[in-house]
Amino acid sequence: MSGFKLFRVSAVSIPANDYLGQRAARPYFRDALAAPVSNKSFTPGQLQNAIFTVMPLWVQALMALRNRIVGVLGFEVGRTFTDDRSAFPPRDLQVGDAVAFMHVIHADANEVVSFTEDKHMQFYLSVSKQDEQVVVSTMVNLKTLTGRLYMAMIKPFHWLIARVVIHNAVKDGRI
């Protein structure tokens, strides 16, 4: 099932029993987006780095504002993604590597999963290769009412930012 398409990014069906699905705890949020890959030799870890190490300035500004606001509520506000266009091919990721505010908890030939947790939520990011496309899936286990309210407020921003960032990676030939 394909969903709404923005640029060269499509919403796709969420896998049934994948790595993230096995860690879902109600209530939770989950989405999955797919985009074409031109650098077919890249590993999932290289794809994750190629997508998320370049953020538009407006996204960086929104994340800085978000960090100032929610830091006082106990949300994770660690390092953000960095803009590193010079790393080509991008560095591969292995279990234990730090990636912005997350750590890699799973890596194999088909998928890399990064994770972070605070008192309000658990956040997972999966990047996998499927045929000639990359699938980026986000899952957030919501542990508190504050976490659920936060997710409800940022969902429209997540919807837009995820699609723009992945589209930019395709458009720029980074993936």
For residue 5, the surrounding DSSP H or E stretch is strand 2-6
Tens digit of each residue's pLDDT (9 = 90 or more) over 130-150: 889 999 999 999 999 999 999
pLDDT of residue 85 exceeding 50 = yes
Q: Give the per-residue pLDDT at 133.
A: 96
Q: Give the per-residue pLDDT at 66.
A: 78
Per cent of the chain over pLDDT 90 is 65
Locate all alpha helices (DSSP H) within the chain, ordered by sequence.
44-52, 57-70, 145-171
Is 65 among the domain residues?
yes
Instruction: Count CA atoms within 13 Å of residue 6 on its CB side.
Output: 12
Tens digit of each residue's pLDDT (9 = 90 or more) over 8-64: 899 999 977 789 989 999 899 999 999 999 999 999 999 999 999 888 998 888 888
Residue 152: which pLDDT band, with cuts at 50, 70 and 90?
A: very high
The structure's pTM equals 0.87
Is 109 among the domain residues?
yes
Read off the CATH number of the domain in which 143 is found: 3.30.530
Is 157 among the domain residues?
yes
| Tokens 């370049």 -> residue | 54
Question: Across all residues in the chain, what is the average pLDDT?
Answer: 88
Is 175 among the domain residues?
no
Please give the tally of structural domains in the chain. Answer: 1
What 3-state DSSP class applies to 134? Answer: strand
Is 105 among the domain residues?
yes
> What share of residues in the chain are helix, strand, coil (percent, to 5)?
30, 30, 40
- Domain of residue 146, residue span: 2-170
Greatest Cα pair distance, the chain, in angstroms, is 43
